Amino acid sequence: MELWNFIYNQLSEKRRVILLTVIECKGSSPGRVGFKMAVSQNGEISGSIGGGVMEYNMVELARKRVSSDTLESLIKRQIHDSEAEYDKSGMICSGEQTHVFLPLTSSDLETISTIKECINNGEKGILTISPNNIHFIKDDSSDFQVSAFINSPKDWEYKEFIGLKDTVYIFGAGHISVPLSQILRMLEFRVVVFDNRKELSTFTANSFAHQKHIIDYNKVEDLVPEGQNSYVAIMSFGHKFDQIILKQLLGKKLKYLGMIGSKNKVQSIYDSLKAFGFTDNDFNRVDSPIGLSINSQTPAEIAISIAGKIIHTRNGEKK
């Protein structure tokens, strides 16, 4: 989201921007398909295409192009091998990646604004980048993910299903929720915070959540959609409310379901819920005590622990 905000702000100030996108990669490459970076006419940057000397060189090239009168797109391949005959990146990862440089001007503001709106609202759409155009349409129904072809420097196209598809629903707006929301937002999650307490200072102070709602904890089932994009962290004020929330969500198919609490508290909740027909198989789906075991003590440390577990769940065993 920060990338699109950056582009929007720069274009609003009548500054041109070069959008760099990795559209192809092979082997051990630091940049992956879909990595993006923006370079403004004033030299400022946002995002990353993989880092290192390769990224530095691509940024310098983008700065030269955005400062010139050249408004043509460019394809640039980088080979991460010191023995390569051409297109050497300066890295030795043994892979390669291909970037497209697309100039953006104030005429693209409407498209960028639509992308921002889509992400903020948790919606989805298809982004298309071609030699002379950036295009975006909202589309919540497609299973499409990413595709690209390169026929020549003037004949290529990249398509991506874009939007903050992964949402973390935090039940409990206490002292952990603020750093957790901040970290998750940095990680490109959409963050929704719920609490049942009005005028809670940490609820008011949380400027990182995309949405905040005061609710009745007895009516949470319909607030969290099922699916591989839904993550839940239960950390309300007291085990009574944690149990009420967990009872409503245990039967849902979620990507991640975690609940804060000591082992004794967690077991007490599980024992109570067995009276409603839940079994150990249901409880085994719950990450509780929540987060990675890193001996966390402070709210920020606990937030890092929870975020770490959510990252691991999202990325799985991908290498």
- End of a domain among 123, 139, 162? 162
Q: Is the pLDDT of residue 198 over 80?
A: yes
115 shares a domain with 78: yes
pLDDT at 85: 57
Number of domains in the chain: 2
pLDDT at 111 over 80: yes
Q: Is the pLDDT of residue 175 over 50?
A: yes
Considering 102, 132, 162, which residue would you say is the last residue of a domain? 162
Provide the residue type at 145 as one letter. Answer: Q
pLDDT at residue number 127: 94
| Enclosing H/E stretch for 200 | none
Distance, in Å, from the CA atom of 172 to the CA atom of 183, rounded to the nearest integer, reads 16
Mean pLDDT of 56-62: 92
In percent, the amount of the chain with pLDDT more than 70 equals: 90
Q: Which amino acid is at 135?
A: H
Domain boundaries, position 6: 2-162
Determine the average pLDDT of the residues in 274-286: 96
Residues 158 and 14 in one domain: yes
Percent of all residues in the chain with a pLDDT value above 90, rounded to a whole number: 68
Q: Which range among 87-91, 274-278, 300-304 shows the weakest confidence by mean pLDDT?
A: 87-91
123 and 173 co-located in one domain: no
Quick one: pLDDT at residue 50? 84
Regarding whether 174 and 149 lie in a shared domain, the answer is no
Using DSSP, state whether 302 is helix, strand or coil: helix
Average of per-residue pLDDT across 108-112 = 96
**Domain shared by 263 and 301, yes or no:** yes
Same domain, yes or no, for 271 and 177?
Answer: yes
Q: What is the pLDDT of residues 116-169, one digit of tens each?
A: 988 877 788 999 999 989 999 988 766 667 888 889 989 999 999 886 578 999
Please state, in angstroms and rounded to a whole number, the distance separating the CA atoms of residues 121 and 1: 12
Say yes or no: 195 and 135 in one domain. no
Q: Say if residue 197's pLDDT is above 70.
A: yes
Q: What's the mean per-residue pLDDT of the chain?
A: 89
Rounded to an integer, the average pLDDT of 160-188 is 91
Cα 24–26–27 angle (5° rounding)? 155
Is it the case that residue 80 has pLDDT exceeding 70? no
Contacts of 246 (CB under 8 A, 6+ apart): 234, 259, 269, 273, 286
Same domain, 94 and 207: no
Listed residues 162, 196, 226: the one ending a domain? 162
* Closest-CA residue to 301 (of 175, 208, 125): 175
pLDDT: which is higher, 316 or 307: 307
Which pLDDT band, with edges at 50, 70 and 90, does 319 fall under? very low
How is residue 108 written in tokens? 């693209």
Q: How many helices (H) and strands (E) does the chain have?
A: 9, 14
Question: What is the pLDDT averaged over residues 230-249?
Answer: 96
Position 29 scores a pLDDT of 66
In a shared domain, residues 201 and 54: no
If asked whether residues 17 and 148 sit together in one domain, one would say: yes
13-26: pLDDT as tens digits: 999 999 999 998 77
Mean pLDDT of 108-114: 96
> Is 236:171 a contact under the CB 8 Å cutoff?
yes
CATH number, domain with residue 173: 3.40.50.720
Is the same domain home to 141 and 234? no
Helix (H) or strand (E) holding 125: strand 125-130
139 shares its domain with 81: yes
What pLDDT, on the 0 to 100 scale, is given for residue 24?
Answer: 85
